[in-house]
Amino acid sequence: MSVKYELIIYWSESDSAFIVEVPELPGSRLDGQTYIEAVTNVEVVIQEYIYV
């Protein structure tokens, strides 16, 4: 089963990090020092959400 979620990714000057939000998962706002790190962090949360 393939589940797809929309990711909103942007750079935050105040946090000095990339921010990733998943609109379908309220409260899911993760960050990372690089684009890849931010997306990887949110992928972990999505997988945990799916398997709970």
1 band by pLDDT with thresholds 50, 70 and 90:
low
In whole angstroms, give the CA distance from residue 51 to residue 12. 30
Question: Which has more pLDDT, 3 or 33?
Answer: 33
User: What is the average pLDDT across 33-40?
Assistant: 97
Whole-model pTM: value is 0.85
Q: Is the pLDDT of residue 48 over 90?
A: no
User: Residues 9, 35: contact at Cβ < 8 Å?
Assistant: yes
